[in-house]
Chain A
Amino acid sequence: MDSTQLLKGVLDTAVLAVLESEDGYGYDIVRRLRESGIGDIGDATVYGTLRRLYAGGLLRTYVVPSEDGPNRKYYALNDQGIASLLAQRETWAQFTITMSSLLGVSSKVQTEGKSK
Protein backbone atom coordinates (compact mmCIF):
# COMPACT_ATOMS: atom_id res chain seq x y z
CA MET A 1 0.00 0.00 0.00
CA ASP A 2 1.26 3.49 -0.85
CA SER A 3 1.74 5.17 2.54
CA THR A 4 2.05 8.58 0.84
CA GLN A 5 -1.64 8.49 -0.05
CA LEU A 6 -2.54 7.50 3.51
CA LEU A 7 -0.38 10.28 4.86
CA LYS A 8 -2.18 12.90 2.81
CA GLY A 9 -5.34 12.08 4.67
CA VAL A 10 -3.84 12.34 8.13
CA LEU A 11 -1.16 14.99 7.72
CA ASP A 12 -3.32 17.66 9.34
CA THR A 13 -3.81 15.43 12.37
CA ALA A 14 -0.11 14.61 12.49
CA VAL A 15 0.86 18.29 12.44
CA LEU A 16 -1.64 19.13 15.15
CA ALA A 17 -0.35 16.22 17.24
CA VAL A 18 3.23 17.44 16.89
CA LEU A 19 2.20 20.89 18.07
CA GLU A 20 0.25 19.55 21.01
CA SER A 21 3.34 18.87 23.05
CA GLU A 22 5.27 21.96 22.09
CA ASP A 23 5.05 24.99 19.81
CA GLY A 24 7.29 24.83 16.78
CA TYR A 25 8.53 26.69 13.72
CA GLY A 26 8.48 25.41 10.15
CA TYR A 27 11.53 23.20 9.84
CA ASP A 28 11.33 22.21 13.50
CA ILE A 29 7.89 20.68 12.82
CA VAL A 30 9.23 18.91 9.72
CA ARG A 31 12.06 17.46 11.77
CA ARG A 32 9.76 16.27 14.54
CA LEU A 33 7.44 14.63 12.04
CA ARG A 34 10.38 12.81 10.47
CA GLU A 35 11.66 11.75 13.87
CA SER A 36 8.25 10.30 14.66
CA GLY A 37 8.54 8.10 11.57
CA ILE A 38 6.84 10.19 8.92
CA GLY A 39 9.93 10.53 6.80
CA ASP A 40 8.54 10.55 3.32
CA ILE A 41 7.23 14.07 3.34
CA GLY A 42 8.41 17.29 1.69
CA ASP A 43 9.01 20.36 3.80
CA ALA A 44 6.93 22.49 1.40
CA THR A 45 4.00 20.16 2.04
CA VAL A 46 4.31 20.75 5.78
CA TYR A 47 4.67 24.53 5.37
CA GLY A 48 1.57 24.65 3.15
CA THR A 49 -0.34 22.52 5.64
CA LEU A 50 0.65 24.86 8.46
CA ARG A 51 -0.61 27.83 6.51
CA ARG A 52 -3.89 26.04 5.71
CA LEU A 53 -4.44 25.07 9.35
CA TYR A 54 -3.66 28.64 10.37
CA ALA A 55 -6.12 30.00 7.80
CA GLY A 56 -8.65 27.47 9.09
CA GLY A 57 -8.40 29.00 12.56
CA LEU A 58 -6.76 26.00 14.26
CA LEU A 59 -3.36 27.60 14.90
CA ARG A 60 -1.96 30.86 16.16
CA THR A 61 1.46 32.21 15.27
CA TYR A 62 4.08 34.40 16.84
CA VAL A 63 7.47 35.57 15.66
CA VAL A 64 10.67 34.96 17.60
CA PRO A 65 13.66 37.13 16.66
CA SER A 66 16.86 35.28 15.86
CA GLU A 67 20.28 36.63 16.73
CA ASP A 68 22.12 34.82 13.95
CA GLY A 69 19.61 34.76 11.09
CA PRO A 70 16.10 35.55 9.93
CA ASN A 71 13.22 35.68 12.42
CA ARG A 72 11.31 32.46 13.00
CA LYS A 73 7.54 32.15 12.93
CA TYR A 74 6.28 29.76 15.57
CA TYR A 75 3.01 27.88 15.34
CA ALA A 76 0.90 26.86 18.34
CA LEU A 77 -2.47 25.20 18.83
CA ASN A 78 -5.30 27.48 19.85
CA ASP A 79 -8.46 26.30 21.60
CA GLN A 80 -10.11 25.40 18.31
CA GLY A 81 -7.02 23.49 17.26
CA ILE A 82 -6.99 21.53 20.53
CA ALA A 83 -10.67 20.68 20.13
CA SER A 84 -10.08 19.63 16.53
CA LEU A 85 -7.17 17.41 17.55
CA LEU A 86 -9.28 15.70 20.22
CA ALA A 87 -12.03 15.04 17.70
CA GLN A 88 -9.57 13.72 15.12
CA ARG A 89 -7.94 11.50 17.72
CA GLU A 90 -11.35 9.96 18.48
CA THR A 91 -12.08 9.49 14.80
CA TRP A 92 -8.68 7.93 14.21
CA ALA A 93 -9.11 5.48 17.10
CA GLN A 94 -12.47 4.36 15.78
CA PHE A 95 -11.12 4.15 12.25
CA THR A 96 -8.12 2.01 13.20
CA ILE A 97 -10.35 -0.37 15.15
CA THR A 98 -12.62 -0.72 12.15
CA MET A 99 -9.77 -1.22 9.70
CA SER A 100 -7.94 -3.65 11.97
CA SER A 101 -11.08 -5.67 12.33
CA LEU A 102 -11.70 -5.57 8.62
CA LEU A 103 -8.17 -6.62 7.74
CA GLY A 104 -8.01 -9.24 10.51
CA VAL A 105 -4.80 -7.79 11.80
CA SER A 106 -5.22 -8.87 15.48
CA SER A 107 -6.25 -12.47 14.64
CA LYS A 108 -3.35 -12.78 12.22
CA VAL A 109 -0.96 -11.53 14.88
CA GLN A 110 -2.42 -14.02 17.38
CA THR A 111 -2.13 -16.88 14.90
CA GLU A 112 1.45 -16.03 14.14
CA GLY A 113 2.19 -15.78 17.90
CA LYS A 114 0.77 -19.28 18.58
CA SER A 115 2.67 -20.85 15.69
CA LYS A 116 5.93 -19.64 17.17
Chain B
Amino acid sequence: MTKTSDRAIAQFVTDVQAALDGLDAVTIGELTESLEADLLDRQAAEGNEFKLGSPAAYAKELMHSAGLAGEGSQPSKVRAFFAAIWNWLWTTIKTARPAWWVLRGLAGYTCIWFVLLKQDRTLPDNASGWLVLLVLVAVSIQLGRVRNKTWWFRAPMAALNILALVTSIYWATAAVEVRNKYEQLSALASSNMLLRGGQPVGFAYAYDKDGNQLPMQTLKAANGEILYETPKPELSDAVLAVQGMTLKAAIQELSRLNVTAVDVQYQYEPGVRSGHVAAVEKIHISDGTSQVLLTVAN
Protein backbone atom coordinates (compact mmCIF):
# COMPACT_ATOMS: atom_id res chain seq x y z
CA MET B 1 0.00 0.00 0.00
CA THR B 2 1.43 3.36 -0.97
CA LYS B 3 1.92 6.19 1.48
CA THR B 4 -0.79 8.82 1.38
CA SER B 5 0.69 12.10 0.20
CA ASP B 6 0.62 15.23 2.29
CA ARG B 7 -1.31 16.87 -0.51
CA ALA B 8 -3.98 14.17 -0.27
CA ILE B 9 -4.27 14.81 3.48
CA ALA B 10 -4.56 18.55 2.89
CA GLN B 11 -7.24 17.89 0.27
CA PHE B 12 -9.02 15.56 2.69
CA VAL B 13 -9.10 18.34 5.31
CA THR B 14 -10.50 20.73 2.69
CA ASP B 15 -13.16 18.19 1.76
CA VAL B 16 -14.09 17.65 5.39
CA GLN B 17 -14.44 21.40 5.83
CA ALA B 18 -16.67 21.52 2.77
CA ALA B 19 -18.79 18.69 4.18
CA LEU B 20 -19.20 20.71 7.37
CA ASP B 21 -20.93 23.39 5.32
CA GLY B 22 -23.84 24.67 7.32
CA LEU B 23 -21.84 25.24 10.45
CA ASP B 24 -20.49 28.69 11.05
CA ALA B 25 -16.89 29.41 10.12
CA VAL B 26 -15.72 29.64 13.74
CA THR B 27 -17.07 26.19 14.56
CA ILE B 28 -15.58 24.69 11.40
CA GLY B 29 -12.26 26.26 12.36
CA GLU B 30 -12.43 24.83 15.87
CA LEU B 31 -13.19 21.36 14.51
CA THR B 32 -10.52 21.27 11.82
CA GLU B 33 -7.87 23.71 13.00
CA SER B 34 -5.27 21.05 13.71
CA LEU B 35 -6.84 18.20 11.76
CA GLU B 36 -4.10 18.18 9.16
CA ALA B 37 -1.38 17.87 11.84
CA ASP B 38 -3.36 15.15 13.58
CA LEU B 39 -3.82 13.20 10.37
CA LEU B 40 -0.12 13.49 9.60
CA ASP B 41 0.62 12.10 13.07
CA ARG B 42 -1.82 9.30 12.55
CA GLN B 43 -0.27 8.53 9.19
CA ALA B 44 3.13 8.37 10.80
CA ALA B 45 1.84 6.04 13.50
CA GLU B 46 -0.19 3.74 11.27
CA GLY B 47 2.17 3.63 8.32
CA ASN B 48 0.80 1.65 5.41
CA GLU B 49 -2.36 0.87 7.33
CA PHE B 50 -3.34 4.52 7.21
CA LYS B 51 -6.52 5.27 5.28
CA LEU B 52 -8.36 8.54 4.95
CA GLY B 53 -11.83 7.24 4.19
CA SER B 54 -14.81 9.36 3.23
CA PRO B 55 -14.61 13.09 4.07
CA ALA B 56 -18.40 13.23 4.38
CA ALA B 57 -18.47 10.33 6.86
CA TYR B 58 -15.58 11.86 8.76
CA ALA B 59 -17.40 15.22 8.93
CA LYS B 60 -20.57 13.50 10.08
CA GLU B 61 -18.69 11.72 12.86
CA LEU B 62 -17.05 15.00 13.90
CA MET B 63 -20.38 16.81 14.10
CA HIS B 64 -22.12 13.96 15.88
CA SER B 65 -19.49 13.63 18.59
CA ALA B 66 -19.28 17.41 18.94
CA GLY B 67 -22.99 17.56 19.62
CA LEU B 68 -23.63 19.43 16.38
CA ALA B 69 -25.57 16.71 14.57
CA GLY B 70 -28.46 18.26 12.69
CA GLU B 71 -26.84 21.66 12.47
CA GLY B 72 -24.78 20.58 9.50
CA SER B 73 -27.86 19.87 7.45
CA GLN B 74 -28.32 23.64 7.21
CA PRO B 75 -32.03 24.09 7.75
CA SER B 76 -33.71 26.34 5.27
CA LYS B 77 -34.61 29.87 6.25
CA VAL B 78 -38.30 28.95 6.21
CA ARG B 79 -37.69 26.01 8.55
CA ALA B 80 -35.52 28.16 10.77
CA PHE B 81 -38.25 30.83 10.84
CA PHE B 82 -40.96 28.37 11.85
CA ALA B 83 -38.62 26.70 14.33
CA ALA B 84 -38.00 30.10 15.93
CA ILE B 85 -41.76 30.75 16.10
CA TRP B 86 -42.34 27.34 17.60
CA ASN B 87 -39.60 27.85 20.17
CA TRP B 88 -41.08 31.20 21.12
CA LEU B 89 -44.57 29.70 21.31
CA TRP B 90 -43.44 26.77 23.39
CA THR B 91 -41.49 29.02 25.77
CA THR B 92 -44.51 31.27 26.11
CA ILE B 93 -46.79 28.31 26.80
CA LYS B 94 -44.42 27.00 29.43
CA THR B 95 -44.16 30.46 30.99
CA ALA B 96 -47.95 30.78 31.03
CA ARG B 97 -48.49 27.46 32.81
CA PRO B 98 -49.25 29.10 36.18
CA ALA B 99 -51.98 31.15 34.50
CA TRP B 100 -53.44 27.92 33.14
CA TRP B 101 -53.38 26.38 36.61
CA VAL B 102 -55.50 29.30 37.90
CA LEU B 103 -57.84 29.07 34.91
CA ARG B 104 -58.12 25.31 35.45
CA GLY B 105 -59.26 25.94 39.02
CA LEU B 106 -61.88 28.38 37.78
CA ALA B 107 -63.01 25.89 35.11
CA GLY B 108 -63.29 23.24 37.80
CA TYR B 109 -65.46 25.56 39.88
CA THR B 110 -67.74 26.27 36.91
CA CYS B 111 -67.94 22.56 36.12
CA ILE B 112 -68.75 21.52 39.68
CA TRP B 113 -71.36 24.24 40.02
CA PHE B 114 -73.01 23.14 36.80
CA VAL B 115 -72.96 19.41 37.63
CA LEU B 116 -74.03 19.65 41.28
CA LEU B 117 -76.36 22.63 41.26
CA LYS B 118 -77.36 22.73 37.58
CA GLN B 119 -76.49 26.41 37.52
CA ASP B 120 -74.57 28.04 34.75
CA ARG B 121 -72.26 30.19 36.83
CA THR B 122 -68.85 31.65 36.12
CA LEU B 123 -67.93 33.48 39.30
CA PRO B 124 -69.24 33.08 42.85
CA ASP B 125 -71.71 35.56 44.28
CA ASN B 126 -71.21 34.76 47.95
CA ALA B 127 -68.39 34.13 50.42
CA SER B 128 -68.72 30.35 50.50
CA GLY B 129 -68.59 30.24 46.71
CA TRP B 130 -65.40 32.29 46.71
CA LEU B 131 -63.92 29.97 49.33
CA VAL B 132 -64.66 26.93 47.17
CA LEU B 133 -63.14 28.69 44.17
CA LEU B 134 -59.97 29.61 46.07
CA VAL B 135 -59.55 26.04 47.31
CA LEU B 136 -59.97 24.67 43.78
CA VAL B 137 -57.44 27.16 42.39
CA ALA B 138 -54.96 26.26 45.15
CA VAL B 139 -55.39 22.53 44.44
CA SER B 140 -54.95 23.13 40.71
CA ILE B 141 -51.74 25.10 41.30
CA GLN B 142 -50.39 22.42 43.59
CA LEU B 143 -51.16 19.71 41.03
CA GLY B 144 -49.35 21.78 38.39
CA ARG B 145 -46.24 21.99 40.55
CA VAL B 146 -46.01 18.22 41.02
CA ARG B 147 -43.16 16.74 39.01
CA ASN B 148 -44.59 13.24 38.92
CA LYS B 149 -43.94 11.57 35.57
CA THR B 150 -45.73 8.28 36.26
CA TRP B 151 -48.69 7.30 34.08
CA TRP B 152 -51.09 6.94 36.98
CA PHE B 153 -50.63 10.62 37.71
CA ARG B 154 -50.26 11.91 34.17
CA ALA B 155 -53.27 10.07 32.71
CA PRO B 156 -55.89 11.52 35.08
CA MET B 157 -54.16 14.91 34.85
CA ALA B 158 -54.47 14.79 31.06
CA ALA B 159 -58.17 13.97 31.37
CA LEU B 160 -58.59 16.79 33.89
CA ASN B 161 -56.81 19.24 31.62
CA ILE B 162 -58.98 18.27 28.66
CA LEU B 163 -62.14 18.70 30.73
CA ALA B 164 -60.91 22.07 31.98
CA LEU B 165 -60.04 23.12 28.43
CA VAL B 166 -63.50 22.20 27.11
CA THR B 167 -65.14 24.01 30.02
CA SER B 168 -62.95 27.06 29.44
CA ILE B 169 -63.87 27.16 25.75
CA TYR B 170 -67.58 26.88 26.63
CA TRP B 171 -67.18 29.57 29.26
CA ALA B 172 -65.27 31.88 26.90
CA THR B 173 -67.91 31.38 24.18
CA ALA B 174 -70.71 32.16 26.62
CA ALA B 175 -68.83 35.24 27.84
CA VAL B 176 -68.45 36.50 24.27
CA GLU B 177 -72.17 35.97 23.64
CA VAL B 178 -73.11 37.90 26.77
CA ARG B 179 -70.74 40.68 25.79
CA ASN B 180 -72.19 40.87 22.28
CA LYS B 181 -75.72 40.95 23.67
CA TYR B 182 -74.76 43.66 26.13
CA GLU B 183 -73.20 45.75 23.37
CA GLN B 184 -76.28 45.25 21.21
CA LEU B 185 -78.62 46.33 23.99
CA SER B 186 -76.37 49.29 24.84
CA ALA B 187 -76.47 50.39 21.23
CA LEU B 188 -80.26 50.08 21.17
CA ALA B 189 -80.68 51.89 24.49
CA SER B 190 -78.60 54.82 23.31
CA SER B 191 -80.37 55.03 19.96
CA ASN B 192 -83.56 56.96 19.14
CA MET B 193 -85.42 53.79 18.32
CA LEU B 194 -88.67 52.89 20.07
CA LEU B 195 -87.99 49.76 22.14
CA ARG B 196 -90.17 47.23 23.82
CA GLY B 197 -88.67 44.35 25.76
CA GLY B 198 -85.25 45.24 24.39
CA GLN B 199 -86.42 44.85 20.82
CA PRO B 200 -86.93 47.72 18.39
CA VAL B 201 -90.54 48.52 17.45
CA GLY B 202 -91.01 48.78 13.73
CA PHE B 203 -94.39 50.50 13.70
CA ALA B 204 -96.83 51.77 16.33
CA TYR B 205 -100.61 52.03 16.10
CA ALA B 206 -103.02 53.68 18.52
CA TYR B 207 -106.47 52.21 19.28
CA ASP B 208 -109.46 53.59 21.12
CA LYS B 209 -111.21 51.76 23.94
CA ASP B 210 -113.47 50.00 21.40
CA GLY B 211 -110.48 48.64 19.56
CA ASN B 212 -110.74 51.02 16.64
CA GLN B 213 -107.48 52.16 15.19
CA LEU B 214 -106.86 55.84 15.72
CA PRO B 215 -105.06 58.09 13.35
CA MET B 216 -101.61 58.70 14.74
CA GLN B 217 -98.79 60.64 13.29
CA THR B 218 -96.62 61.24 16.31
CA LEU B 219 -95.92 59.34 19.51
CA LYS B 220 -94.47 61.46 22.30
CA ALA B 221 -93.03 60.62 25.68
CA ALA B 222 -94.29 62.29 28.84
CA ASN B 223 -91.52 64.88 28.59
CA GLY B 224 -92.61 65.84 25.10
CA GLU B 225 -89.82 64.00 23.34
CA ILE B 226 -90.94 62.56 20.03
CA LEU B 227 -90.55 58.80 20.30
CA TYR B 228 -92.03 57.91 16.99
CA GLU B 229 -93.34 59.69 13.99
CA THR B 230 -95.39 57.94 11.37
CA PRO B 231 -93.67 58.17 8.04
CA LYS B 232 -95.56 60.35 5.67
CA PRO B 233 -97.19 58.13 3.07
CA GLU B 234 -96.31 58.44 -0.53
CA LEU B 235 -98.79 60.03 -2.91
CA SER B 236 -99.43 58.60 -6.29
CA ASP B 237 -98.49 60.66 -9.32
CA ALA B 238 -102.18 60.99 -10.23
CA VAL B 239 -102.99 62.61 -6.87
CA LEU B 240 -99.94 64.86 -7.10
CA ALA B 241 -101.11 65.96 -10.53
CA VAL B 242 -103.91 68.06 -8.96
CA GLN B 243 -101.24 70.55 -7.98
CA GLY B 244 -101.80 73.70 -10.06
CA MET B 245 -105.49 72.95 -10.69
CA THR B 246 -108.26 75.07 -9.35
CA LEU B 247 -109.70 73.86 -6.09
CA LYS B 248 -112.93 72.72 -7.77
CA ALA B 249 -111.12 70.80 -10.50
CA ALA B 250 -108.78 69.30 -7.93
CA ILE B 251 -111.64 67.98 -5.78
CA GLN B 252 -113.33 66.49 -8.81
CA GLU B 253 -110.15 64.75 -9.81
CA LEU B 254 -109.52 63.45 -6.26
CA SER B 255 -113.10 62.08 -6.12
CA ARG B 256 -112.45 60.27 -9.36
CA LEU B 257 -109.33 58.79 -7.74
CA ASN B 258 -111.42 57.56 -4.76
CA VAL B 259 -109.89 60.04 -2.36
CA THR B 260 -112.85 60.54 -0.06
CA ALA B 261 -111.52 63.00 2.52
CA VAL B 262 -109.97 66.31 1.61
CA ASP B 263 -108.83 69.04 3.96
CA VAL B 264 -108.19 72.46 2.56
CA GLN B 265 -106.04 75.19 4.01
CA TYR B 266 -105.58 78.63 2.48
CA GLN B 267 -102.36 80.50 2.72
CA TYR B 268 -100.31 82.95 0.76
CA GLU B 269 -98.24 81.19 -1.82
CA PRO B 270 -96.09 83.47 -3.98
CA GLY B 271 -96.03 82.48 -7.62
CA VAL B 272 -99.30 80.52 -7.43
CA ARG B 273 -102.48 81.97 -8.76
CA SER B 274 -105.22 82.57 -6.23
CA GLY B 275 -107.68 79.68 -5.89
CA HIS B 276 -105.25 77.17 -7.32
CA VAL B 277 -103.72 74.24 -5.47
CA ALA B 278 -100.15 75.04 -4.35
CA ALA B 279 -99.33 71.76 -2.55
CA VAL B 280 -100.79 68.30 -2.01
CA GLU B 281 -100.02 66.21 1.11
CA LYS B 282 -101.44 62.90 2.29
CA ILE B 283 -101.93 63.16 6.01
CA HIS B 284 -103.57 59.90 6.92
CA ILE B 285 -104.40 56.48 5.62
CA SER B 286 -106.76 54.30 7.56
CA ASP B 287 -109.10 51.46 6.63
CA GLY B 288 -108.60 52.05 2.95
CA THR B 289 -109.56 55.72 3.12
CA SER B 290 -107.21 58.54 2.35
CA GLN B 291 -107.19 62.04 3.70
CA VAL B 292 -105.45 64.60 1.57
CA LEU B 293 -104.49 68.09 2.60
CA LEU B 294 -104.65 70.65 -0.17
CA THR B 295 -102.87 73.95 0.27
CA VAL B 296 -104.60 76.56 -1.84
CA ALA B 297 -103.18 79.98 -2.62
CA ASN B 298 -105.33 82.86 -1.43
Which A residues lie at the B interface, using CB under 8 A? 11, 25-28, 30-31, 42-49, 51-52, 54-55, 66, 69-73
Contact = CB atoms under 8 A, between A and B. Distances in A.
A71 B33 CA distance: 9
A26 B40 CA distance: 11
Contacts of B41: 26-28, 31
Contacts of B35: 26, 47
A48 B65 contact: yes
A48 B64 contact: yes
B38 A27 contact: yes
B62 A69 contact: no
Nearest to A41: B65
A71 B61 contact: no
Q: Main secondary structure on chain A at its contact with chain B?
A: helix
Contact of A26 (B37, B58, B61, B66): B37
Contacts of A54: 30
B269 interface: no
B34 interface: yes
B254 interface: no
Contacts of B197: none
19 contacts: A11-B65, A25-B34, A27-B45, A30-B38, A43-B38, A44-B59, A44-B62, A47-B31, A47-B62, A47-B66, A48-B31, A48-B62, A48-B64, A48-B68, A52-B65, A66-B37, A70-B36, A72-B34, A73-B33
B61 A49 contact: no
B42 interface: yes
A45 B63 CA distance: 9
Given A45-B65, A48-B65, A51-B66, A70 B58 contact: no
Interface of B: 27, 30-31, 33-42, 45, 58-59, 61-68
A71 B40 CA distance: 12
B52 to A, nearest CB: 11
Nearest to A42: B61
B38 to A, nearest CB: 4
Candidate in B33, B42, B63 with the most chain A CB atoms within 10 angstroms = B33
Contact of A31 (B36, B45, B68): B45
Contacts of A11: 65
Contact of B37 (A25, A42, A49): A25
A52 B35 CA distance: 15
Candidate in B35, B59, B64 with the most chain A CB atoms within 10 angstroms = B35
B34 A43 contact: no
Contacts of A45: 61, 64-65
A28 B63 CA distance: 20
B37 A70 contact: yes
A48 B38 contact: no
B65 A44 contact: yes
A18 B99 CA distance: 50
Contacts of B59: 44
A99 B40 CA distance: 41
A52 B27 CA distance: 10
A51 B65 CA distance: 9
Contacts of A28: 41
A48 B71 CA distance: 14
B66 A69 contact: no
A71 B62 contact: no
Nearest to A11: B65
